[in-house]
Structure formats: structure tokens, C-alpha cells
Amino acid sequence: MNILTKSFIAIFTLNVLVVTGHAALPDPGMQIEKGRTALVVTDPQNDFLSPKGVTWGVVGKSVEANNTVENIETLFKTAKANSIPVFVSPHYYFPHDHGWKFGGALETLMHNIGMFDRKAPLSVEDFEGSGADWLKRYKPYINDGHTIVTSPHKVYGPETNDLVLQLRKQGIDKIILAGMSANLCTESHMRELIEQGFEVAVVSDATAAAQVEEGDGYAAALVNFRYIANTVWTTKEARQLMQGK
């Protein structure tokens, strides 16, 4: 049984448990309230979501299976159309970050392959179209002058950037969470936001993850989303709820 098959089985099993009413865990849910709710998207960048990105060889199948690129765009578009604030938490590495003396497995790999690299904190030299840049189709939503782009997180979670501060300053305490990648930055953001007292709804098909010999990151994340988040939505469900339906 290959990794992709295992991922589909995990998703199917979770869905069956919920639909048949035999889920062991409750679904607390989350109500969208204008002025208190925001869309947060982690790492909507080329290195994760473009076939030319440095991780496409391991994330591409998951991105395509989930329709992730299109689903993230649906969330951007729906949030903008319904006056729901949008926050983007990006991942950038600058030359000084490559001087770190140690790192975890995926963290080390990202440094080795030049993932999310930029020339300098105050320079956008060679940024346009690079792996660190936004996916082109997202730029109208992110560069509209209203989206809040936080300082970069450096490992996986928002503990190293100003996302929580920016959310608090806008009076936000409910999060619709999407982006890349499922078991790394997205899950880490979910965990920290929950710890910080936010309600979090994760959009399960607006993310994806690496599928490698050691395991399927997406299948692993689905379990933890269900265990930890206030609720888990599909893009279709999130869109309807954001529209007030």
C-alpha cells in the first residue's frame, strides 16, 4: 500500500466516522463573526505550490490531489468579497539564517536546498518569481494594500514572528487556517494559536504535505487537526460559512 493510498484511507475513515455519527471526538465548531474572524494563510509561496518550486517533487501529488492551489485561492477570494481580514504568515530565510549551528530534519533540508531564500531582510533583489515569492495567482489578493503580511516565521510556528500581535491588535480571536504545509507550518500555527486562546477552524483541503518514504505528512496532519482544532472544514464548507450561508 503506497503513501497516497494510506492518505486517502485516513481521510475516508475520518469522514465516515463523522458522517455516521460514530466519531469518538466531539466537533465543537466555530461561528464566523465579522470583526472577530480572519483568514490566516501560511506559506502561499512558489517553493511549496509551484511545479517549479524546490519541494514539488515531494508535495506535488498531495497538492494536486487536494486541489490545494485552487482551494487557497477560493478562500482568498471569498474572504475579500465578504470583508474578512486576511493575514499571511510567510517563511523567509536570509543569509544570516544559514549560519545556524543546528536544526531538525526538515529544517536542515530546507536550508540545504535553498528553500524560501532571500538576499537580505531589507532587499527584494531577485525576489520576484523566486521560490520565496507568492504564487502569481495569489498576488492580486495579497498585494491589494489590505492583506496583513507578518514578519517571517523561521521554523514552523508563529512563535518567531508577529502574527499573534497583529491578530490581537485587530481584535481577532477566531481563525480560518489554511496554507502550507499541513503537518509542518500549518499544524504548528494551529497549535500555537490554540495555545494563545484563539478559536481555529482548519480547512483540510486548502493545505497539503510531503509524501516521503518515512511517512505521509498530510495523513498525519489530518489526525492532529481533528484532535486539536475547534473544527475542520472543507473549502466548500468554509466558503459557504464565510458567505453567511
When computed from its CA atoms, the radius of gyration of the chain, rounded to whole angstroms, is 17
Task: Give the tens place of pLDDT for each residue, 215-229.
Answer: 999 999 999 999 999
Residue 7: pLDDT band with limits 50, 70, 90: low
Where does residue 208 fall: left (phi above 0), alpha (psi -120 to 50 degrees), or beta otherwise? beta
Report d(CA 9, CA 115) in Å as an integer.
Answer: 31
Domains of the chain, residue spans: 3-10+41-242
Per-residue pLDDT, averaged over 34-45, amounts to 98
Better-scored residue on pLDDT, 13 or 157: 157
Cβ atoms of 211 and 197 within 8 Å: the answer is no
Report d(CA 19, CA 35) in Å as an integer.
Answer: 31
Cβ atoms of 85 and 170 within 8 Å: the answer is yes
Q: Residue 137 corresponds to which cell in the numbers above?
A: 495567482
Report d(CA 244, CA 242) in Å as an integer.
Answer: 5
Q: Which CATH class is domain 3-10+41-242?
A: alpha beta
